[in-house]
Homo-oligomer: A and B are copies of this chain.
Amino acid sequence: MLGEFALIDAIVAGLGDRAAGDWITLGPGDDAAVIAATSGLSQVASIDTLLPDVHFPAAAPPQLIGYRSLMVSFSDLAAMGAVPRYCLVSLSMDESQAALGSAWVEALAQGMATAARELGVYVCGGNLTRGPLNIAVSVHGEVEPQRLLLRTGGSPGLSLYVTGPLGAAAACVRTGQMMPVEPAALTPLQAAYYRPLARFDVPSLLISAAGGLDISDGLAQDLEHLCRASGCGAALDSGAIPVALGAQLDDALFGGDDYELLLASDLPLAGAHRIGYLTSELGLRLDGEPLNVRGFDHFGDGESIR
Contact = CB atoms under 8 A, between A and B. Distances in A.
Interface of A: 1-5, 7, 25-26, 29-37, 39-49, 51, 54, 76-77, 79-80, 82, 86, 88-92, 98, 124-132, 134, 136, 138-141, 143, 145, 148, 150-152, 213-214, 229, 297-300, 303
A236 B9 CA distance: 29
A136 B297 contact: no
A4 B129 contact: no
Max chain B C-beta neighbours (<10 A), residue from A29, A89, A127, A148: A127
A42 B36 contact: yes
Contacts of A86: 45
A214 B36 CA distance: 23
B49 A44 contact: no
Contacts of A134: 49, 92, 131-132, 134, 136
A30 B138 CA distance: 15
A222 B92 CA distance: 22
Contacts of A299: 1-4, 7, 98, 128, 130
Number of copies: 2
Given A3-B299, A131-B54, A132-B131, A45 B33 contact: yes
A3 B47 contact: no
A49 B129 contact: yes
B79 A47 contact: no
A122 to B, nearest CB: 11
Given A35-B45, A134-B136, 15 more contacts: A4-B297, A25-B145, A26-B150, A29-B151, A31-B46, A31-B77, A32-B44, A32-B77, A33-B46, A34-B43, A35-B43, A37-B41, A43-B43, A45-B138, A49-B127
B37 A37 contact: yes
A130 B138 CA distance: 18
Nearest to A46: B32
B150 A30 contact: yes
Nearest to A1: B299
A76 B125 CA distance: 12
A108 to B, nearest CB: 15
Nearest to A138: B138
A85 B109 CA distance: 29
Contacts of A127: 46-49
Contact of A40 (B39, B44, B143, B300): B39
B49 A136 contact: yes
Given A98-B299, A132-B134, A125 B49 contact: no
A297 B76 contact: no
Contacts of A126: 47
A89 to B, nearest CB: 7
Contact of A42 (B25, B145, B152): B25
Contacts of A91: 49
